Structure 1
């Protein structure tokens, strides 16, 4: 284990009424203990999970638009508003890793082309691959060894089958390569990774939740088991 604790430095915050401190889950944050090599952040859109993940990446020295410590390129609004107000506790500290931000991955791929580093990602430009292929090229070629990986909605480009492939990659790296993952996701497939910790950002708190209690699992299960009833209630409710 590397990252052990995330602490909000409340005494340094100038105003809890400004973004992102008025987000309920951030406003109520004191400390989060990380006790697992694979930890998921879940919650509705706007619940603060991506905001906190970005702040962790910023504190790690990773490019908050996506990348590691040595990926230097600028993207508008890539600054973290929260990074200066959290403290990360390590045992031991690890500086190797990567921050994947699905929404700005295009810019990272362009950066790799600009610096002529396509050879490190399977020998082909990430722009010359499908979105899902480029994500898998990143996971297979860039992720290795003792490192921390912060991933914001990695399922965005992955089909259900490719999400299962990604689960195997996580397993191999966490169990054999001594890697740590913190993943913000909406995917019930990824959340099913065995023995992972799931932290919910809903209800104004950040708290541990069982897989079967997540909305992602319950809504997906209900939809698959009672699709016609679900859609009738949804579409014909007057």
Structure 2
């Protein structure tokens, strides 16, 4: 299997301009740990955790520091509607490997509709699919297929919101092909136990404790969903 030259080998704080820890998002434990200790990235890095713990803040900052638009798209994308991103990216240093690709793609399921409209309004030199003519999940996968031959960094923020069970499996297959052929690196934020099972991924559980390495079978995400599927009535009866 070809070895991927990692577009991001490690993420560290930009020492000359530290982020105040008393100012959001510096108040989040995972952000504090990233800034204090740095974070090494693998060819495939998966971040999991509950809502609001800082997963999207971390991957968004990596994407912006790499030169991608905050609402998704490729490096140097000019797509933006309503700025809402944190300034964390301005305080990060991305440690690269020599000769690694400088291109990349940031996929956020909730904003891809706007990205597809931007692509239609600003067509490139080569023809590409009309993504709006496909379903949400199909267009998401079509985008990955269409860009899969380009080497670089793939950052995905909770893509399962666009995908079915089979769609999640298809996405893993597409991304694994990109990594296995040495064309790219993947950083993935997810609530999906299916996507978290990405073969060979370095899994980091994100929460009020900060960031910790974890095995798939030990994730709260996996234990909770397994328990629900075994006995959904135990959970649902408390909702009424």
Give TM-score scaled by structure 1 length: 0.90
Report matched runs for 1:75-90 at 5 Å. Answer: 75-90=81-96
> Quick check: 1:145–1:178 contact (8 Å CA) kept in 2?
yes
Please tell me whether residue 146 in structure 1 is matched to residue 151 in structure 2: yes
> Quick check: 1:57–1:99 contact (8 Å CA) kept in 2?
yes
Query: Which structure has the highest helix share of the two?
Result: 1
Gaps of 5+ in 1: none
Mapped partners of 1:192, 1:14: distance in 2: 33
Please tell me whether residue 51 in structure 1 is matched to residue 61 in structure 2: no
Mapped partners of 1:105, 1:118: distance in 2: 21
Please tell me whether residue 101 in structure 1 is matched to residue 108 in structure 2: yes
Mapped partners of 1:64, 1:193: distance in 2: 25
Residue 113 of structure 1 corresponds to 120
3-state SS of 1:180 partner:
strand
Mapped partners of 1:61, 1:231: distance in 2: 44
Give TM-score scaled by structure 2 length: 0.89
**Change in 2 beyond 3 A, CA 1:115/1:14:** closer
> Quick check: 2:70–2:80 contact (8 Å CA) kept in 1?
no
Per the TM alignment, residue 209 of structure 1 is displaced from its structure 2 partner at its CA by 0.8
Please tell me whether residue 41 in structure 1 is matched to residue 51 in structure 2: no
Please tell me whether residue 235 in structure 1 is matched to residue 239 in structure 2: yes
**Change in 2 beyond 3 A, CA 1:79/1:223:** closer
Residue 74 of structure 2 corresponds to 68
> Quick check: 1:120–1:141 contact (8 Å CA) kept in 2?
no
> Quick check: 1:153–1:184 contact (8 Å CA) kept in 2?
yes
Mapped partners of 1:142, 1:111: distance in 2: 16
Report matched runs for 1:11-50 at 5 Å. Answer: 12-13=17-18, 15-29=20-34, 30-34=37-41, 36-50=42-56
Please tell me whether residue 187 in structure 1 is matched to residue 203 in structure 2: no
Q: Deviations over 1:150-194 (max 9, x none)?
A: 111111110111111111111111112431000001011111112
Please tell me whether residue 209 in structure 1 is matched to residue 207 in structure 2: no
3-state SS of 2:179 partner:
helix
Question: 13, 16, 21: which one pairs with 1:8?
Answer: 13
> Quick check: 1:118–1:126 contact (8 Å CA) kept in 2?
no
> Quick check: 2:19–2:91 contact (8 Å CA) kept in 1?
no
**Change in 2 beyond 3 A, CA 1:56/1:14:** closer
3-state SS of 2:73 partner:
coil
**Change in 2 beyond 3 A, CA 1:14/1:98:** closer
Please tell me whether residue 128 in structure 1 is matched to residue 133 in structure 2: yes
> Quick check: 1:16–1:22 contact (8 Å CA) kept in 2?
yes
Gaps of 5+ in 2: none
